[in-house]
Amino acid sequence: MSVFDILCPCHAQLSQTGHILHLGPTLAKLLGDTPALPVRLLELFELRRPHPAASMKVLFALAGQKLTFRLRAAPHTDLKAVLALLPSGQGAVVNFSFGIAIQNVVQRHSLTHSDFAGTDLAIEMLYLLEAKNAAMEASRTLNQRLQGAKNAAEEQAFTDTLTGLKNRRTLNLVLARLSEAKVPFTVMQLDLDYFKAVNDTYGHAAGDHVLQVAARILVEETRAEDTVVRLGGDEFALVFYNVINATRLAKLSQRIIERLEQPVPFQNNICRISGSIGIVVFDRRSEASPEVMLEQSDQALYASKKAGRAQHSFFHCGAA
Could you list the active site residues? 234
Rg (CA), the chain: 40
Distance of CA 21 to the CA centre of its chain: 54
Q: 276 - beta bridge partners?
A: 191
| Number of neighbours of residue 310 by Cβ within 10 angstroms | 19
The answer to whether the CB of 278 falls within 8 A of the CB of 256 is no
Calculated CA dihedral for residues 313, 315, 319, 320, nearest 10 degrees:
70
| Number of neighbours of residue 159 by Cβ within 10 angstroms | 17
Burial degree of 256 (CB within 10 A; 0-12, 13-18, 19+): buried
Distance from C-alpha of 242 to C-alpha of 281, rounded to nearest angstrom: 10
Cα distances (angstroms) measured from residue 179 to each of 187, 239, 281 = 12, 12, 12
